[in-house]
Amino acid sequence: MNEAHFIPSQYTQTLEKGQLSWEAPSNIALVKYWGKYGEQLPKNASISFTLQNCNTKTSLIFEEKKSEEFDFEVYLDGKREASFEPKIQKFFERVFVYLPFLKDYKFKIETSNSFPHSSGIASSASGMSALALCLVDLERALSGAEGSAVDLKKASFIARLGSGSACRSIEGDLIVWGDHIQIPGSSNLIGVKYPFEVHENFKNYQDTILLVDKGEKQVSSTVGHDLMHEHPFALERFKQANENLSKLIPILKSGALSEFIKIVENEALSLHAMMLTSMPYFILMKPNTLEIINRIWTFRARTNSNICFTLDAGANVHVLYPLLEKETVSIFIKQELIQFCKNGECIEDQVGFGAVKN
Ligand code: DP6
């Protein structure tokens, strides 16, 4: 499979106007994507849990038009959000060759997130995934393929061109993105379902997201990825990530939680180590991020719990644990961790199964 696979043949149908809606989830990477090349291609393979409760709902309202420009408006929670439009413009330019109907319509893109916009939770993965699904669904109608299922591979391909990690937000529950020698079907172009056996321990895995810092990030993911080009440790990091994914394969099969924890926390800290050692260097963790990590480690040593943490490109902490420990971990979070969150806020989430059409 290469890019040409996603260039459509002539459309057979015309549609004057209409509306489509999709709800797409966020995801949390266990092995991280950090560093890219070409058109949104990852320097290493990554794997994520798809989430269930953190999601974006997007409606695409379309109407035929004549001009040769892209024509769209973006609305967040019912209000025009012009600040999102340059990103969508760039996205449309990038995907135009794969979705050539984009200049034939005027679009109204209405979007809303299940989590507060200011929560510091990245909405780009769920947002780009939901929009990609709407566009690929519209293409299905234009191709006269109304009866067939929406092309989830193409949706993942298009979502990736909007935001890399968005290609892992189409399906669930464990998604791999990036060529990996041991994972058949894995590809730099799209996210695919993890193809091997997964132990019961990882079914319904819980993710409580502790909102440590809700402000704008000082350094965007795009800038962070770029800094990997000149990074002295980049090659070792890409190798480490691919090896960590290799190590996860037998762990996911056997259910060895203590080994799982080591890989997941090593990945989170390695991601942030890349930030600390970039030039210019930057720190996205906050003092409370470290407080939470230390409390998790102390609790784990004291109770033999299988709780662990991971981090995205920000200060918030994802607390991961098996469903069986929900009660004890919830008490621990309330008693010890919630005090380190902005306004005592957290989001309770768990592994989910992918996007749905509304
Ligand atoms: C730290 O997917 O947000 O969350 O491709 O530039 O849109 P762009 O970057 P983005 O990077 C997210 C990186 C990460 C790790 C991960 O999700 O794998």
pLDDT digits (tens, 9 = 90+) for 177-190: 999 999 999 999 99
pLDDT at res. 118: 62
Ligand 1, residue 160: give the atom nearest the CA. 5
312 lines ligand 1 (CB under 6 A): yes
207-228 pLDDT per residue, tens: 999 999 877 777 889 999 999 9
Does the C-beta of 260 come closer than 6 Å to ligand 1? no
pLDDT over 90, % of the chain: 92
Considering the chain, tell me which residue range(s) the CATH 3.30.230.10 domain(s) occupy.
3-194
User: Which tokens hold the place of 136?
Assistant: 């690929």
According to the model, what pLDDT value does residue 191 have?
Answer: 98
Q: Mean pLDDT across the stretch 58-66?
A: 96
Q: pLDDT at position 88, please?
A: 97
Query: Mean pLDDT throughout 313-338?
Result: 97
Contact 73, 80 (CB under 8 A): yes
Gap from CA of 164 to ligand 1 centroid (Å) = 6
3-class DSSP string for the chain: CCHHHHCCCCCCCCCCEEEEEEEEEEEEEEECCCCEECCCEECCCEEEEEEEEEEEEEEEEEEECCCCCCEEEEEECCEECHHHHHHHHHHHHHHCCCCHHHHHEEEEEEEEECCCHHHCCCCHHHHHHHHHHHHHHHHHHHCCCCCCCCCHHHHHHHHHHHCHHHHHCCECCEEEECCCCCCCCCCCCCEEECCCCCCHHHCCCEEEEECCCCCCCCCCHHHHHHHCCCCCCHHHHHHHHHHHHHHHHHHHHHCCHHHHHHHHHHHHHHHHHHHHCCCCCCCCCCHHHHHHHHHHHHHHHHHCCCCEEEECCCCCEEEEECHHHHHHHHHHHHHHHHHHCHHHCEEEEEECCECEEC
pLDDT at 120: 65
Ligand 1 atom nearest 128 alpha carbon: 7
User: According to the model, what pLDDT value does residue 26 have?
Assistant: 97
The pLDDT assigned to 218 comes to 79
CB 63 within 8 A of CB 109: no
- 170 pLDDT band (50/70/90 cuts)? very high
Position 1 confidence tier, pLDDT thresholds 50, 70, 90: confident
CATH 3.20.20.10 assigned to 3-194: no
* pLDDT(122) > 80: no
Which of 98-102, 103-107, 217-221, 303-307 shows the lowest per-residue confidence on average (mean pLDDT)?
217-221
What is residue 119's predicted lDDT score, i.e. its pLDDT?
63
The third-level CATH classification (topology) of the domain covering 203-350 is Alpha-Beta Plaits (3.30.70)
Domain with CATH 3.30.70.890 in the chain: 203-350
46 CB less than 6 Å from ligand 1? yes
Query: What is the 311 CA–ligand 1 centroid distance (Å)?
Result: 11
Q: Is the pLDDT of residue 33 over 90?
A: yes
Residue 288 near ligand 1, beta carbon < 6 Å:
no
Residue 83 has pLDDT above 80, yes or no: yes
Best substitution site from 84, 225, 310, 311 to test ligand 1's pocket, by max atoms within 8 Å of Cβ? 225
For residues 66 and 240, which has the higher predicted lDDT (pLDDT)? 240
Q: Is the pTM of this model over 0.95?
A: yes
So what's the pLDDT on residue 269?
98
pLDDT on residue 145: 83
29 CB near ligand 1 (under 6 Å): yes
Ligand 1 midpoint to CA 28 (Å): 10
Asked whether the predicted pLDDT for residue 147 surpasses 90, the reply is no
Report how far ligand 1's centroid is from the alpha carbon of 213 (Å): 18
CA of 171: how far to CAs of 6, 50, 354, in Å? 18, 7, 4
Q: Which of these, 176, 132, 146, lies nearest to 6 by C-alpha position?
A: 132
